[in-house]
A and B are shown apart, each in its own frame.
Chain A
Amino acid sequence: MARFLIRRIIIMIPLMLGITFISFIAMSLVPGNFITNLALDPHISPQVIKQMEAEFGLDQPLMVRYARWLWQVVHLNFGVSLAYRVNVTSLIASRAVNTVLLSLASVIFSWALAIPIGVIVAMRQNSALDRGLSFFSFLGMSVPAFFLAFLAMDFALWSGVFPVGGSFSPDYAALDAWSKVADRINHLILPTLVLGVSGVASLMRLMRSQILELKNSEFVRTARAKGLPERTVIYKHVLRNALNPFVTMAGYGLADLLGGAALVESVMNLQGLGLLLLNAVRSLDVPLVMGSVLMGTILLLLGNLLADIALVAVDPRVDFSTLASQ
Protein backbone atom coordinates (compact mmCIF):
# COMPACT_ATOMS: atom_id res chain seq x y z
CA MET A 1 0.00 0.00 0.00
CA ALA A 2 2.85 2.38 0.87
CA ARG A 3 4.46 1.84 -2.52
CA PHE A 4 1.17 2.45 -4.24
CA LEU A 5 0.60 5.69 -2.36
CA ILE A 6 4.10 6.95 -3.05
CA ARG A 7 3.77 6.14 -6.72
CA ARG A 8 0.47 7.96 -7.00
CA ILE A 9 1.79 11.01 -5.19
CA ILE A 10 4.84 11.15 -7.48
CA ILE A 11 2.56 10.99 -10.53
CA MET A 12 0.60 13.94 -9.13
CA ILE A 13 3.61 16.28 -9.21
CA PRO A 14 4.04 16.71 -13.00
CA LEU A 15 0.26 16.92 -13.27
CA MET A 16 0.08 19.85 -10.87
CA LEU A 17 3.03 21.55 -12.59
CA GLY A 18 1.36 21.16 -15.98
CA ILE A 19 -2.04 22.41 -14.90
CA THR A 20 -0.74 25.41 -13.00
CA PHE A 21 1.63 26.36 -15.80
CA ILE A 22 -1.09 26.23 -18.47
CA SER A 23 -3.48 28.20 -16.27
CA PHE A 24 -0.78 30.73 -15.54
CA ILE A 25 -0.06 31.25 -19.23
CA ALA A 26 -3.80 31.54 -19.92
CA MET A 27 -4.22 34.20 -17.28
CA SER A 28 -1.24 36.17 -18.57
CA LEU A 29 -2.55 36.05 -22.16
CA VAL A 30 -5.53 38.16 -21.11
CA PRO A 31 -4.96 41.78 -22.03
CA GLY A 32 -4.53 43.87 -18.89
CA ASN A 33 -4.25 42.70 -15.32
CA PHE A 34 -5.92 43.24 -11.98
CA ILE A 35 -4.46 46.75 -11.73
CA THR A 36 -5.82 47.82 -15.15
CA ASN A 37 -9.29 48.23 -13.70
CA LEU A 38 -7.95 50.29 -10.80
CA ALA A 39 -5.91 52.47 -13.14
CA LEU A 40 -9.14 53.71 -14.73
CA ASP A 41 -10.10 55.21 -11.37
CA PRO A 42 -8.99 58.90 -11.38
CA HIS A 43 -8.69 58.89 -7.58
CA ILE A 44 -5.72 56.55 -7.71
CA SER A 45 -2.51 58.27 -8.78
CA PRO A 46 -0.10 56.67 -11.29
CA GLN A 47 2.55 56.44 -8.56
CA VAL A 48 0.29 54.27 -6.44
CA ILE A 49 -0.45 52.10 -9.47
CA LYS A 50 3.28 51.66 -10.13
CA GLN A 51 3.85 50.85 -6.49
CA MET A 52 1.06 48.26 -6.48
CA GLU A 53 2.36 46.67 -9.67
CA ALA A 54 5.76 46.30 -8.06
CA GLU A 55 4.20 44.97 -4.87
CA PHE A 56 2.23 42.29 -6.66
CA GLY A 57 5.14 41.57 -8.97
CA LEU A 58 2.99 42.30 -12.05
CA ASP A 59 5.83 44.24 -13.70
CA GLN A 60 7.97 41.09 -13.94
CA PRO A 61 8.15 38.80 -17.00
CA LEU A 62 5.94 35.71 -17.13
CA MET A 63 8.51 33.07 -16.22
CA VAL A 64 9.77 35.06 -13.24
CA ARG A 65 6.21 35.45 -11.97
CA TYR A 66 5.49 31.74 -12.37
CA ALA A 67 8.75 30.75 -10.69
CA ARG A 68 8.00 33.09 -7.80
CA TRP A 69 4.51 31.72 -7.44
CA LEU A 70 5.79 28.15 -7.54
CA TRP A 71 8.44 28.92 -4.94
CA GLN A 72 5.71 30.27 -2.66
CA VAL A 73 3.54 27.22 -3.21
CA VAL A 74 6.37 24.86 -2.35
CA HIS A 75 6.45 26.67 1.01
CA LEU A 76 2.69 26.12 1.25
CA ASN A 77 2.06 29.82 0.79
CA PHE A 78 -0.52 30.49 -1.92
CA GLY A 79 -0.09 34.24 -1.77
CA VAL A 80 -2.59 36.97 -1.09
CA SER A 81 -5.75 37.47 -3.12
CA LEU A 82 -5.57 40.77 -5.00
CA ALA A 83 -9.29 41.44 -4.76
CA TYR A 84 -10.04 40.26 -1.24
CA ARG A 85 -6.65 41.20 0.30
CA VAL A 86 -6.85 37.98 2.31
CA ASN A 87 -4.56 34.98 2.41
CA VAL A 88 -5.62 32.70 -0.47
CA THR A 89 -5.24 29.59 1.68
CA SER A 90 -7.76 30.66 4.30
CA LEU A 91 -10.16 31.99 1.64
CA ILE A 92 -10.06 28.72 -0.31
CA ALA A 93 -10.27 26.56 2.80
CA SER A 94 -13.46 28.27 3.95
CA ARG A 95 -15.04 27.91 0.48
CA ALA A 96 -13.80 24.38 -0.27
CA VAL A 97 -15.67 23.12 2.79
CA ASN A 98 -18.95 24.21 1.21
CA THR A 99 -18.12 22.60 -2.14
CA VAL A 100 -17.08 19.34 -0.51
CA LEU A 101 -20.22 19.32 1.65
CA LEU A 102 -22.44 19.90 -1.39
CA SER A 103 -20.68 17.22 -3.46
CA LEU A 104 -20.78 14.66 -0.64
CA ALA A 105 -24.43 15.35 0.08
CA SER A 106 -25.39 14.92 -3.56
CA VAL A 107 -23.35 11.71 -3.90
CA ILE A 108 -25.07 10.24 -0.85
CA PHE A 109 -28.45 11.37 -2.16
CA SER A 110 -27.93 9.89 -5.60
CA TRP A 111 -26.54 6.57 -4.32
CA ALA A 112 -29.27 6.20 -1.73
CA LEU A 113 -31.89 6.64 -4.43
CA ALA A 114 -30.22 5.07 -7.48
CA ILE A 115 -29.23 1.72 -5.97
CA PRO A 116 -32.68 0.63 -4.72
CA ILE A 117 -34.41 2.00 -7.82
CA GLY A 118 -31.89 0.25 -10.07
CA VAL A 119 -32.48 -3.07 -8.28
CA ILE A 120 -36.26 -2.77 -8.41
CA VAL A 121 -36.26 -1.81 -12.07
CA ALA A 122 -33.90 -4.63 -13.03
CA MET A 123 -36.09 -7.15 -11.21
CA ARG A 124 -39.04 -6.08 -13.35
CA GLN A 125 -37.29 -5.75 -16.68
CA ASN A 126 -39.49 -4.40 -19.50
CA SER A 127 -42.43 -3.69 -17.19
CA ALA A 128 -44.25 -0.37 -17.42
CA LEU A 129 -42.33 0.78 -14.33
CA ASP A 130 -39.03 -0.08 -15.99
CA ARG A 131 -39.90 1.76 -19.18
CA GLY A 132 -41.26 4.79 -17.37
CA LEU A 133 -38.26 5.11 -15.06
CA SER A 134 -35.79 4.57 -17.87
CA PHE A 135 -37.42 7.45 -19.77
CA PHE A 136 -37.12 9.58 -16.65
CA SER A 137 -33.49 8.63 -16.29
CA PHE A 138 -32.85 9.89 -19.81
CA LEU A 139 -34.67 13.07 -18.91
CA GLY A 140 -32.65 13.43 -15.71
CA MET A 141 -29.38 12.91 -17.57
CA SER A 142 -30.30 15.42 -20.26
CA VAL A 143 -31.67 18.37 -18.34
CA PRO A 144 -28.63 20.44 -17.45
CA ALA A 145 -27.95 21.07 -13.76
CA PHE A 146 -28.04 24.83 -14.23
CA PHE A 147 -31.54 24.62 -15.69
CA LEU A 148 -32.69 22.61 -12.68
CA ALA A 149 -31.00 25.19 -10.49
CA PHE A 150 -33.13 27.91 -12.11
CA LEU A 151 -36.26 25.89 -11.50
CA ALA A 152 -35.22 25.27 -7.88
CA MET A 153 -34.67 28.97 -7.30
CA ASP A 154 -38.07 29.71 -8.76
CA PHE A 155 -39.61 27.01 -6.58
CA ALA A 156 -37.94 28.46 -3.49
CA LEU A 157 -39.25 31.92 -4.37
CA TRP A 158 -42.73 30.62 -5.08
CA SER A 159 -43.15 28.26 -2.14
CA GLY A 160 -41.21 30.18 0.49
CA VAL A 161 -40.26 26.89 2.17
CA PHE A 162 -36.60 26.92 1.17
CA PRO A 163 -34.17 29.84 1.17
CA VAL A 164 -33.62 31.48 -2.23
CA GLY A 165 -29.93 30.75 -2.81
CA GLY A 166 -26.99 31.49 -0.55
CA SER A 167 -25.11 29.23 1.84
CA PHE A 168 -26.51 30.64 5.08
CA SER A 169 -29.03 33.15 6.38
CA PRO A 170 -28.11 36.83 6.84
CA ASP A 171 -28.41 36.45 10.64
CA TYR A 172 -26.14 33.37 10.62
CA ALA A 173 -23.51 34.83 12.94
CA ALA A 174 -26.07 35.52 15.66
CA LEU A 175 -27.40 31.93 15.77
CA ASP A 176 -26.42 29.34 18.37
CA ALA A 177 -24.51 26.23 17.34
CA TRP A 178 -27.45 23.93 16.60
CA SER A 179 -29.37 26.58 14.70
CA LYS A 180 -26.24 27.16 12.64
CA VAL A 181 -26.15 23.49 11.62
CA ALA A 182 -29.88 23.52 10.87
CA ASP A 183 -29.48 26.69 8.83
CA ARG A 184 -26.64 25.17 6.79
CA ILE A 185 -28.65 22.01 6.13
CA ASN A 186 -31.70 24.01 5.15
CA HIS A 187 -29.60 25.87 2.58
CA LEU A 188 -28.09 22.62 1.28
CA ILE A 189 -31.30 20.74 0.50
CA LEU A 190 -32.23 22.30 -2.83
CA PRO A 191 -28.68 22.42 -4.28
CA THR A 192 -28.21 18.77 -3.30
CA LEU A 193 -31.37 17.75 -5.11
CA VAL A 194 -30.39 19.80 -8.16
CA LEU A 195 -26.89 18.38 -8.35
CA GLY A 196 -28.00 14.83 -7.47
CA VAL A 197 -30.66 14.37 -10.14
CA SER A 198 -28.30 13.55 -12.99
CA GLY A 199 -26.39 11.23 -10.67
CA VAL A 200 -29.56 9.36 -9.75
CA ALA A 201 -30.43 9.04 -13.43
CA SER A 202 -27.09 7.74 -14.65
CA LEU A 203 -26.32 5.51 -11.64
CA MET A 204 -29.76 3.96 -11.83
CA ARG A 205 -29.10 2.92 -15.42
CA LEU A 206 -25.70 1.57 -14.45
CA MET A 207 -27.19 -0.43 -11.57
CA ARG A 208 -29.91 -1.83 -13.80
CA SER A 209 -27.53 -2.99 -16.51
CA GLN A 210 -25.11 -4.44 -13.94
CA ILE A 211 -27.84 -6.49 -12.26
CA LEU A 212 -29.24 -7.70 -15.57
CA GLU A 213 -25.78 -8.78 -16.62
CA LEU A 214 -25.04 -10.62 -13.37
CA LYS A 215 -28.47 -12.16 -12.94
CA ASN A 216 -27.75 -14.95 -15.40
CA SER A 217 -24.14 -15.60 -14.46
CA GLU A 218 -22.78 -18.89 -13.14
CA PHE A 219 -22.30 -17.93 -9.53
CA VAL A 220 -25.86 -16.71 -9.26
CA ARG A 221 -27.12 -19.99 -10.69
CA THR A 222 -24.98 -21.81 -8.12
CA ALA A 223 -26.47 -19.73 -5.33
CA ARG A 224 -29.98 -20.54 -6.55
CA ALA A 225 -29.10 -24.24 -6.94
CA LYS A 226 -27.97 -24.28 -3.33
CA GLY A 227 -31.54 -23.35 -2.51
CA LEU A 228 -30.86 -19.88 -1.22
CA PRO A 229 -33.92 -17.67 -1.00
CA GLU A 230 -34.23 -15.13 -3.82
CA ARG A 231 -33.67 -12.22 -1.40
CA THR A 232 -30.31 -13.58 -0.31
CA VAL A 233 -29.31 -14.25 -3.91
CA ILE A 234 -30.07 -10.68 -4.92
CA TYR A 235 -28.78 -8.82 -1.90
CA LYS A 236 -25.78 -10.95 -0.98
CA HIS A 237 -24.57 -12.23 -4.32
CA VAL A 238 -25.76 -10.02 -7.15
CA LEU A 239 -25.83 -6.64 -5.45
CA ARG A 240 -22.38 -6.93 -3.92
CA ASN A 241 -20.80 -7.61 -7.27
CA ALA A 242 -22.89 -5.01 -9.01
CA LEU A 243 -21.54 -2.34 -6.69
CA ASN A 244 -17.92 -2.57 -7.86
CA PRO A 245 -18.21 -0.23 -10.85
CA PHE A 246 -19.96 2.25 -8.57
CA VAL A 247 -16.79 2.64 -6.56
CA THR A 248 -14.76 3.32 -9.70
CA MET A 249 -17.47 5.65 -11.00
CA ALA A 250 -17.38 7.60 -7.75
CA GLY A 251 -13.76 8.49 -8.42
CA TYR A 252 -14.14 9.35 -12.07
CA GLY A 253 -17.49 11.06 -11.66
CA LEU A 254 -15.88 13.49 -9.28
CA ALA A 255 -14.69 15.80 -12.07
CA ASP A 256 -18.25 16.17 -13.36
CA LEU A 257 -19.49 16.62 -9.83
CA LEU A 258 -17.04 19.44 -9.14
CA GLY A 259 -17.90 21.08 -12.46
CA GLY A 260 -21.62 20.72 -11.86
CA ALA A 261 -21.18 22.05 -8.36
CA ALA A 262 -19.37 25.08 -9.76
CA LEU A 263 -22.33 25.90 -12.00
CA VAL A 264 -24.96 25.27 -9.34
CA GLU A 265 -22.95 27.42 -6.95
CA SER A 266 -22.88 30.27 -9.44
CA VAL A 267 -26.60 30.08 -10.15
CA MET A 268 -27.72 29.57 -6.57
CA ASN A 269 -25.11 31.93 -5.12
CA LEU A 270 -23.50 29.34 -2.84
CA GLN A 271 -20.20 30.36 -1.29
CA GLY A 272 -18.20 27.50 -2.78
CA LEU A 273 -14.99 27.02 -4.70
CA GLY A 274 -16.67 27.31 -8.10
CA LEU A 275 -18.21 30.71 -7.47
CA LEU A 276 -14.93 31.89 -5.94
CA LEU A 277 -13.05 30.77 -9.06
CA LEU A 278 -15.60 32.37 -11.39
CA ASN A 279 -15.30 35.74 -9.64
CA ALA A 280 -11.53 35.45 -9.53
CA VAL A 281 -11.42 34.73 -13.28
CA ARG A 282 -13.63 37.73 -13.97
CA SER A 283 -11.47 40.11 -11.94
CA LEU A 284 -8.15 38.58 -13.10
CA ASP A 285 -7.18 37.84 -9.51
CA VAL A 286 -4.28 35.56 -10.53
CA PRO A 287 -3.23 34.15 -7.12
CA LEU A 288 -6.83 33.24 -6.34
CA VAL A 289 -7.42 31.59 -9.75
CA MET A 290 -4.25 29.57 -9.42
CA GLY A 291 -5.09 28.56 -5.87
CA SER A 292 -8.62 27.49 -6.78
CA VAL A 293 -7.53 25.50 -9.84
CA LEU A 294 -4.87 23.77 -7.75
CA MET A 295 -7.38 23.08 -4.98
CA GLY A 296 -9.89 21.64 -7.49
CA THR A 297 -7.17 19.39 -8.91
CA ILE A 298 -6.15 18.21 -5.45
CA LEU A 299 -9.77 17.44 -4.53
CA LEU A 300 -10.18 15.47 -7.75
CA LEU A 301 -6.97 13.47 -7.38
CA LEU A 302 -7.71 12.78 -3.72
CA GLY A 303 -11.15 11.54 -4.72
CA ASN A 304 -9.69 9.22 -7.37
CA LEU A 305 -7.16 7.91 -4.85
CA LEU A 306 -9.84 7.25 -2.23
CA ALA A 307 -11.97 5.49 -4.86
CA ASP A 308 -9.06 3.20 -5.75
CA ILE A 309 -8.43 2.37 -2.12
CA ALA A 310 -12.12 1.69 -1.63
CA LEU A 311 -12.08 -0.60 -4.67
CA VAL A 312 -9.32 -2.68 -3.09
CA ALA A 313 -11.38 -2.85 0.08
CA VAL A 314 -14.56 -4.11 -1.62
CA ASP A 315 -13.21 -6.22 -4.49
CA PRO A 316 -10.94 -9.08 -3.41
CA ARG A 317 -9.78 -9.54 -7.03
CA VAL A 318 -8.11 -6.11 -7.00
CA ASP A 319 -5.08 -5.34 -4.86
CA PHE A 320 -2.59 -2.51 -4.78
CA SER A 321 -0.05 -4.29 -6.96
CA THR A 322 -2.57 -4.69 -9.82
CA LEU A 323 -3.63 -1.05 -9.43
CA ALA A 324 -0.03 0.12 -9.49
CA SER A 325 0.75 -1.84 -12.63
CA GLN A 326 -2.13 -0.36 -14.58
Chain B
Amino acid sequence: MNDVVVELKNVTKKIKGKTIIDDLSFSVRRGEVYGFLGPNGAGKTTTIRMIVGLMSMTNGDIVIEGHNIRTNRAKAMANVGAIVENPELYKFMTGRKNLIHFARMSGKAIREERIQEIVKLVDLENALDKKVKNYSLGMRQRLGVAQALLHNPSILILDEPTNGLDPAGIRELRDYLRHLAKKENISILVSSHLLSEIELMCDRVLIIQNGKFIGERAMDPNADGAASVPKAIHFDVSEPDKALAALASTTWSASLGEGGALTVELLREDIPKVVEHLVQHGVAIYEVRTVAPTLEDTFLSMTKGGRIE
Protein backbone atom coordinates (compact mmCIF):
# COMPACT_ATOMS: atom_id res chain seq x y z
CA MET B 1 0.00 0.00 0.00
CA ASN B 2 1.31 3.34 -1.11
CA ASP B 3 1.55 6.02 1.54
CA VAL B 4 0.28 8.76 -0.74
CA VAL B 5 -3.36 8.40 -1.73
CA VAL B 6 -3.89 11.44 -3.92
CA GLU B 7 -1.20 13.40 -5.69
CA LEU B 8 -1.56 16.52 -7.80
CA LYS B 9 1.39 17.31 -10.04
CA ASN B 10 1.66 20.79 -11.55
CA VAL B 11 -2.05 21.01 -12.19
CA THR B 12 -3.14 24.01 -14.22
CA LYS B 13 -6.62 24.98 -15.33
CA LYS B 14 -7.33 27.74 -17.81
CA ILE B 15 -10.81 28.85 -18.76
CA LYS B 16 -10.99 31.12 -21.79
CA GLY B 17 -7.35 32.12 -21.44
CA LYS B 18 -7.73 32.99 -17.77
CA THR B 19 -5.64 30.92 -15.37
CA ILE B 20 -7.89 29.61 -12.60
CA ILE B 21 -5.45 27.10 -11.09
CA ASP B 22 -1.76 27.79 -11.54
CA ASP B 23 0.77 24.94 -11.33
CA LEU B 24 -0.67 23.44 -8.15
CA SER B 25 1.02 20.42 -6.56
CA PHE B 26 0.21 18.67 -3.30
CA SER B 27 -0.35 15.21 -1.93
CA VAL B 28 -2.66 13.64 0.63
CA ARG B 29 -1.27 10.82 2.78
CA ARG B 30 -3.12 7.74 3.91
CA GLY B 31 -5.31 8.26 6.94
CA GLU B 32 -4.87 12.00 7.28
CA VAL B 33 -7.44 14.77 7.23
CA TYR B 34 -6.13 17.27 4.74
CA GLY B 35 -7.62 20.73 4.80
CA PHE B 36 -7.92 22.81 1.71
CA LEU B 37 -8.19 26.42 2.65
CA GLY B 38 -8.51 29.63 0.71
CA PRO B 39 -10.61 32.73 0.39
CA ASN B 40 -13.76 32.48 -1.69
CA GLY B 41 -12.85 32.28 -5.35
CA ALA B 42 -9.35 30.94 -4.68
CA GLY B 43 -9.98 27.83 -6.77
CA LYS B 44 -10.84 25.25 -4.11
CA THR B 45 -13.97 23.98 -5.81
CA THR B 46 -12.32 23.99 -9.24
CA THR B 47 -9.46 21.87 -7.91
CA ILE B 48 -11.85 19.42 -6.29
CA ARG B 49 -13.88 19.18 -9.49
CA MET B 50 -10.73 18.34 -11.41
CA ILE B 51 -9.82 15.62 -8.92
CA VAL B 52 -13.23 13.94 -9.21
CA GLY B 53 -13.31 14.38 -12.99
CA LEU B 54 -16.14 16.90 -13.31
CA MET B 55 -13.73 19.36 -14.92
CA SER B 56 -10.83 18.75 -17.25
CA MET B 57 -7.26 19.87 -16.54
CA THR B 58 -5.38 22.11 -18.93
CA ASN B 59 -2.03 20.77 -17.75
CA GLY B 60 -0.55 18.46 -15.15
CA ASP B 61 -1.56 15.11 -13.69
CA ILE B 62 -3.69 13.80 -10.87
CA VAL B 63 -2.88 10.37 -9.49
CA ILE B 64 -5.25 8.51 -7.15
CA GLU B 65 -3.99 5.27 -5.56
CA GLY B 66 -1.39 5.01 -8.32
CA HIS B 67 -3.90 5.48 -11.16
CA ASN B 68 -3.59 8.55 -13.34
CA ILE B 69 -7.07 9.96 -13.90
CA ARG B 70 -6.19 10.85 -17.50
CA THR B 71 -5.35 7.30 -18.48
CA ASN B 72 -7.05 5.10 -15.91
CA ARG B 73 -10.03 7.07 -14.71
CA ALA B 74 -12.30 4.15 -13.82
CA LYS B 75 -9.75 2.55 -11.47
CA ALA B 76 -8.86 5.89 -9.91
CA MET B 77 -12.52 6.79 -9.26
CA ALA B 78 -13.30 3.40 -7.73
CA ASN B 79 -11.25 4.59 -4.72
CA VAL B 80 -13.00 7.93 -4.35
CA GLY B 81 -16.03 8.85 -2.32
CA ALA B 82 -17.17 12.44 -2.65
CA ILE B 83 -19.72 15.02 -1.74
CA VAL B 84 -19.36 17.97 -4.07
CA GLU B 85 -21.25 20.89 -2.56
CA ASN B 86 -24.60 19.56 -1.38
CA PRO B 87 -25.20 15.83 -1.34
CA GLU B 88 -27.38 15.64 -4.44
CA LEU B 89 -29.77 12.73 -4.21
CA TYR B 90 -32.75 11.43 -6.14
CA LYS B 91 -35.59 12.96 -4.15
CA PHE B 92 -38.27 10.90 -5.87
CA MET B 93 -36.69 7.65 -4.69
CA THR B 94 -36.34 6.16 -1.23
CA GLY B 95 -33.06 6.28 0.67
CA ARG B 96 -32.64 2.57 0.02
CA LYS B 97 -33.07 2.94 -3.75
CA ASN B 98 -30.59 5.82 -3.74
CA LEU B 99 -28.03 3.61 -2.04
CA ILE B 100 -28.73 0.73 -4.44
CA HIS B 101 -28.26 3.17 -7.32
CA PHE B 102 -24.85 4.33 -6.10
CA ALA B 103 -23.81 0.80 -5.12
CA ARG B 104 -24.44 -0.32 -8.71
CA MET B 105 -22.42 2.61 -10.02
CA SER B 106 -19.43 1.88 -7.79
CA GLY B 107 -18.15 -0.87 -10.02
CA LYS B 108 -17.60 -3.10 -7.00
CA ALA B 109 -19.90 -5.85 -5.79
CA ILE B 110 -21.58 -4.33 -2.74
CA ARG B 111 -23.57 -6.73 -0.65
CA GLU B 112 -26.84 -6.10 1.12
CA GLU B 113 -25.02 -6.38 4.48
CA ARG B 114 -22.74 -3.49 3.56
CA ILE B 115 -25.77 -1.30 2.86
CA GLN B 116 -27.27 -2.31 6.22
CA GLU B 117 -23.98 -1.58 7.96
CA ILE B 118 -23.57 1.89 6.45
CA VAL B 119 -27.19 2.78 7.15
CA LYS B 120 -26.69 1.84 10.77
CA LEU B 121 -23.52 3.90 10.89
CA VAL B 122 -25.29 7.07 9.73
CA ASP B 123 -28.38 6.27 11.77
CA LEU B 124 -30.97 6.20 9.00
CA GLU B 125 -32.48 2.77 9.65
CA ASN B 126 -35.95 4.11 10.30
CA ALA B 127 -36.05 6.45 7.33
CA LEU B 128 -34.56 4.14 4.71
CA ASP B 129 -37.84 3.33 2.98
CA LYS B 130 -39.10 6.89 2.94
CA LYS B 131 -38.65 9.04 -0.11
CA VAL B 132 -35.72 11.42 0.14
CA LYS B 133 -37.95 14.43 -0.52
CA ASN B 134 -39.38 13.86 2.97
CA TYR B 135 -35.93 13.91 4.62
CA SER B 136 -34.64 16.79 6.74
CA LEU B 137 -31.42 18.50 5.71
CA GLY B 138 -29.48 16.61 8.35
CA MET B 139 -30.84 13.29 7.11
CA ARG B 140 -29.89 14.17 3.56
CA GLN B 141 -26.38 15.01 4.73
CA ARG B 142 -26.14 11.64 6.43
CA LEU B 143 -27.44 9.82 3.38
CA GLY B 144 -24.86 11.81 1.40
CA VAL B 145 -22.11 10.53 3.69
CA ALA B 146 -23.51 7.00 3.37
CA GLN B 147 -23.40 7.04 -0.44
CA ALA B 148 -19.86 8.43 -0.37
CA LEU B 149 -18.61 5.67 1.95
CA LEU B 150 -20.65 2.77 0.61
CA HIS B 151 -17.87 1.31 -1.55
CA ASN B 152 -15.10 1.62 1.11
CA PRO B 153 -13.17 4.37 -0.65
CA SER B 154 -9.61 5.15 0.43
CA ILE B 155 -10.16 8.87 -0.06
CA LEU B 156 -13.19 10.88 0.89
CA ILE B 157 -13.49 14.28 -0.77
CA LEU B 158 -15.75 16.88 0.78
CA ASP B 159 -16.37 20.31 -0.70
CA GLU B 160 -17.49 22.80 1.97
CA PRO B 161 -19.21 20.04 3.96
CA THR B 162 -20.43 22.25 6.78
CA ASN B 163 -22.43 24.56 4.52
CA GLY B 164 -26.01 24.59 5.70
CA LEU B 165 -25.39 22.58 8.87
CA ASP B 166 -26.24 23.82 12.35
CA PRO B 167 -23.50 23.87 15.04
CA ALA B 168 -24.51 20.48 16.42
CA GLY B 169 -24.45 19.00 12.94
CA ILE B 170 -21.05 20.52 12.25
CA ARG B 171 -19.65 19.06 15.42
CA GLU B 172 -21.14 15.65 14.70
CA LEU B 173 -19.69 15.67 11.19
CA ARG B 174 -16.28 16.78 12.45
CA ASP B 175 -16.08 14.03 15.09
CA TYR B 176 -17.23 11.50 12.57
CA LEU B 177 -14.64 12.51 9.99
CA ARG B 178 -11.81 12.32 12.51
CA HIS B 179 -13.07 8.90 13.57
CA LEU B 180 -13.07 7.70 9.95
CA ALA B 181 -9.55 8.91 9.33
CA LYS B 182 -8.07 7.38 12.48
CA LYS B 183 -10.04 4.14 12.80
CA GLU B 184 -10.71 3.23 9.17
CA ASN B 185 -7.52 4.78 7.80
CA ILE B 186 -9.47 6.76 5.19
CA SER B 187 -7.84 9.91 3.89
CA ILE B 188 -10.09 12.93 3.84
CA LEU B 189 -9.67 15.98 1.67
CA VAL B 190 -11.90 18.73 2.93
CA SER B 191 -12.23 22.23 1.53
CA SER B 192 -13.50 25.17 3.49
CA HIS B 193 -13.24 28.89 3.82
CA LEU B 194 -13.95 28.56 7.56
CA LEU B 195 -10.65 28.65 9.44
CA SER B 196 -11.98 27.43 12.74
CA GLU B 197 -13.48 24.35 11.11
CA ILE B 198 -10.28 23.41 9.35
CA GLU B 199 -8.24 24.04 12.48
CA LEU B 200 -10.36 21.61 14.50
CA MET B 201 -10.64 18.95 11.86
CA CYS B 202 -7.39 18.66 9.98
CA ASP B 203 -3.92 17.20 10.35
CA ARG B 204 -2.42 19.27 7.58
CA VAL B 205 -3.64 22.34 5.79
CA LEU B 206 -2.94 23.65 2.34
CA ILE B 207 -3.57 27.30 1.67
CA ILE B 208 -4.20 28.54 -1.85
CA GLN B 209 -5.01 31.95 -3.21
CA ASN B 210 -5.80 32.98 -6.77
CA GLY B 211 -5.23 29.38 -7.78
CA LYS B 212 -1.65 29.39 -6.51
CA PHE B 213 0.04 27.38 -3.77
CA ILE B 214 0.64 29.71 -0.80
CA GLY B 215 1.72 27.36 1.94
CA GLU B 216 1.21 24.06 3.70
CA ARG B 217 1.19 23.57 7.44
CA ALA B 218 0.91 20.70 9.90
CA MET B 219 -1.70 21.43 12.56
CA ASP B 220 -0.29 19.14 15.24
CA PRO B 221 2.39 21.09 17.19
CA ASN B 222 4.17 17.83 18.04
CA ALA B 223 4.45 16.83 14.42
CA ASP B 224 7.87 15.95 13.08
CA GLY B 225 10.34 18.83 13.05
CA ALA B 226 8.44 20.78 15.67
CA ALA B 227 10.94 19.96 18.49
CA SER B 228 13.92 21.48 16.69
CA VAL B 229 12.31 24.88 16.07
CA PRO B 230 12.40 27.49 18.86
CA LYS B 231 8.95 28.61 19.90
CA ALA B 232 7.60 31.44 22.00
CA ILE B 233 6.88 30.08 25.49
CA HIS B 234 4.66 32.00 27.82
CA PHE B 235 5.49 32.08 31.58
CA ASP B 236 2.89 33.29 34.03
CA VAL B 237 5.05 34.29 37.02
CA SER B 238 4.68 36.22 40.28
CA GLU B 239 7.29 38.88 39.60
CA PRO B 240 8.00 39.32 35.86
CA ASP B 241 10.70 41.96 36.37
CA LYS B 242 12.59 39.73 38.76
CA ALA B 243 12.29 36.83 36.36
CA LEU B 244 13.55 38.98 33.47
CA ALA B 245 16.54 40.02 35.52
CA ALA B 246 17.26 36.40 36.42
CA LEU B 247 17.22 35.41 32.75
CA ALA B 248 19.37 38.37 31.65
CA SER B 249 22.56 36.54 32.60
CA THR B 250 21.65 33.50 30.46
CA THR B 251 21.73 32.88 26.68
CA TRP B 252 17.92 32.64 26.47
CA SER B 253 16.25 35.68 24.98
CA ALA B 254 13.39 36.81 27.21
CA SER B 255 11.02 39.71 26.78
CA LEU B 256 8.10 41.28 28.60
CA GLY B 257 4.89 41.55 26.69
CA GLU B 258 1.91 43.76 27.44
CA GLY B 259 0.41 43.20 30.88
CA GLY B 260 3.77 41.99 32.17
CA ALA B 261 3.65 38.61 30.47
CA LEU B 262 7.06 36.95 30.22
CA THR B 263 7.83 35.36 26.85
CA VAL B 264 10.97 33.35 26.09
CA GLU B 265 12.05 31.94 22.71
CA LEU B 266 12.88 28.33 23.51
CA LEU B 267 13.49 24.88 22.14
CA ARG B 268 11.23 22.28 23.67
CA GLU B 269 14.11 20.57 25.54
CA ASP B 270 15.14 23.86 27.22
CA ILE B 271 11.79 24.52 28.89
CA PRO B 272 12.53 22.50 32.09
CA LYS B 273 15.93 24.22 32.40
CA VAL B 274 14.33 27.67 32.36
CA VAL B 275 11.74 26.56 34.90
CA GLU B 276 14.53 25.27 37.18
CA HIS B 277 16.52 28.48 36.74
CA LEU B 278 13.53 30.66 37.65
CA VAL B 279 12.64 28.54 40.69
CA GLN B 280 16.21 28.79 41.94
CA HIS B 281 15.90 32.59 41.72
CA GLY B 282 12.77 32.57 43.86
CA VAL B 283 10.21 33.22 41.10
CA ALA B 284 6.83 31.54 41.54
CA ILE B 285 5.50 29.98 38.30
CA TYR B 286 1.74 29.56 37.81
CA GLU B 287 1.57 28.52 34.17
CA VAL B 288 3.83 27.61 31.25
CA ARG B 289 2.42 27.33 27.75
CA THR B 290 3.41 27.43 24.10
CA VAL B 291 2.13 30.42 22.17
CA ALA B 292 1.26 28.78 18.87
CA PRO B 293 0.36 31.16 16.12
CA THR B 294 -3.25 30.42 15.25
CA LEU B 295 -4.17 29.28 11.82
CA GLU B 296 -5.89 32.57 11.43
CA ASP B 297 -2.61 34.45 11.94
CA THR B 298 -0.87 32.20 9.45
CA PHE B 299 -3.69 32.45 6.98
CA LEU B 300 -3.93 36.21 7.14
CA SER B 301 -0.19 36.71 6.86
CA MET B 302 0.07 34.26 3.98
CA THR B 303 -2.85 35.59 2.00
CA LYS B 304 -2.21 39.22 2.93
CA GLY B 305 -5.54 39.70 4.57
CA GLY B 306 -7.38 37.25 2.42
CA ARG B 307 -7.93 39.64 -0.44
CA ILE B 308 -8.31 38.39 -3.96
CA GLU B 309 -6.10 40.48 -6.19
Whether A and B are associated in the same complex: the answer reads no
Chain B residues with CB under 8 Å of chain A are none
Chain A residues with CB under 8 Å of chain B are none
